[in-house]
Amino acid sequence: MTQMAQMLVDIFPTHLYSVLLGKTALLDQLLDQETLNMVLKIMIVMIAIVVAAVYAILFQKKQRHFKIISIKELLEPLITTILIEESLASKKILAKMGKIIEDPLARQYCIDELIRCKQNYSGEAAEKMVHLYGELGLKNYSLKKIQKGQPWYKKARGIQELYMMEQRDCYEQIEQFTNSRDEFVRMEAQIAVVHLIGFKGLQFLDFVSYPITEWQQLKLLEQLKLFPEKSDLSDKIPGWLKAENHTVVIFALRLTYEYQQLGLIDSLKASLYHPSPEVRSQAVKAIIQLEDQFTPTILLDYFQDASRNDQILILDAMRLLGTAEESDKIEALLDEPDDTIKLKAAAALVHCSKNGIHLLKDKSLTQPEPFQRIFQHIIGMP
């Protein structure tokens, strides 16, 4: 290799000599047998470390799997015995279970199993699971998970365990997490406070600064349905409709029509002019849901300020809510440039005016395009 480099030096200019010499030395070093052996040894050691680590992880998982099976075989018969017996768990069973759950893995398995049983059973059987959770001191372990310094996943799990096991006395400890910066902790805490105390648990809406996702809103409404006695929200919703957090406003609008807060129409009208398009759209839906004699007028007065999607929503509502009093306003919308709006307005007009179909027919003669197509579509509608 050195001879080849010397030949290149004879051919190429002198200033390349030092560069080629450096390259030659590097190649000689790389091709040195001792260096290659060293690299090979390092690679073998690294591969061995990776293989050992993978094996250790798999071995640990296998051990854990068999340990859980063993725990299951010990705990499940005891829990089943408690479920089928008429009385609460005996001291003997409690002592036996207490010994088993000294192991952290067994303790977590026990908590998970009690929650599962409570979800699958109702009445006295579910109450037994809650009682057993308390008797075994498992509540304290759930509380430890929500202590300061714990990672988010432990906090979220601890909150879930506490509310699933109906620990209402932990409400204040959980409420502090309803505005947590961690999304999962925050969502679990919000669901928990509503699950534990119902409508009063919604007071976190007074201060929550993070978004409440649509999925979260549905989960909260799901929890509220567990409380048959409806709460009067008329004193709280107006404040929530003015919240800086626009997702709070959206949820408040949902609450308004879900719980038929008919006295809040004026507050809903103000929400039609909210800066957020999502809020405005939700306000339209709320006003439609809370229909009264003023609904058509409110919606048609807002029509020109509405987005195209909301305009379509309003005209669809007019097919059901519109009366002869609104026919002139709806007829005027036949002159809108958007053909879809024309079609929706035509359908609403036919519904609310006795002369609607005749007006539309005349329009199809004077303006065949697009009213001839619209007229044919309308008369073909059921």
Q: What is the pLDDT of residues 156-169, one digit of tens each?
A: 999 999 999 999 99
Does residue 149 belong to any structural domain of this protein? no
The reported pLDDT for the residue numbered 20 is 47
Q: pLDDT tens-digit profile of 173-205?
A: 999 999 999 999 999 999 999 999 999 999 999
| pLDDT beyond 80 at 68 | yes
In this prediction, residues 220-249 reach a mean pLDDT of 92
Does residue 300 belong to any structural domain of this protein? yes
Does residue 329 belong to any structural domain of this protein? yes
Does residue 356 belong to any structural domain of this protein? yes
Does residue 310 belong to any structural domain of this protein? yes
In this prediction, residues 6-28 reach a mean pLDDT of 52
C-alpha–C-alpha distance, residues 344 and 379, integer Å: 13
Q: pLDDT tens-digit profile of 137-149?
A: 999 999 999 999 9
The pLDDT > 90 percentage for the chain reads: 66
Least trusted range by pLDDT, from 63-77, 158-172, 174-188, 241-255:
63-77
Reduced 3-state DSSP string for the chain: CHHHHHHHHHHCCHHHHHHHHHHHHHHHHHCCHHHHHHHHHHHHHHHHHHHHHHHHHHHHHHHHHHHHHHHHHHHHHHHHHHHHCCCCCCHHHHHHHHHHCCCHHHHHHHHHHHHHHHHHCCHHHHHHHHHHHHHCCHHHHHHHHCCCCCCHHHHHHHHHHHHHCCCHHHHHHHHCCCCCCCHHHHHHHHHHHHHHHHHHHHHHHHCCCCCCCHHHHHHHHHHHCCCCCCCCCCCCHHHHCCCCCHHHHHHHHHHHHHCCCHHHHHHHHHHCCCCCHHHHHHHHHHHHHCCCCCHHHHHHHHHHHCCHHHHHHHHHHHHHHCCHHHHHHHHHHHHCCCHHHHHHHHHHHHHHCCCHHHHHHHHHHHCHHHHHHHHHHHHCCC
The reported pLDDT for the residue numbered 22 is 56
| pLDDT beyond 90 at 25 | no
Number of domains in the chain: 1
| pLDDT beyond 60 at 18 | no
Structure tokens at 279: 């809020």
| pLDDT beyond 80 at 15 | no
In this prediction, residues 52-69 reach a mean pLDDT of 77
Does residue 328 belong to any structural domain of this protein? yes
Q: What is the value of pTM for the model shown?
A: 0.80
The reported pLDDT for the residue numbered 8 is 46
The reported pLDDT for the residue numbered 28 is 58
Domain residue limits at 312: 293-382
Q: State the CATH number of the domain containing residue 318.
A: 1.25.10
In this prediction, residues 114-135 reach a mean pLDDT of 94
| pLDDT beyond 80 at 24 | no
C-alpha–C-alpha distance, residues 179 and 182, integer Å: 8
- Contact between 294 and 301 (Cβ < 8 Å): no
Does residue 338 belong to any structural domain of this protein? yes
Does residue 144 belong to any structural domain of this protein? no
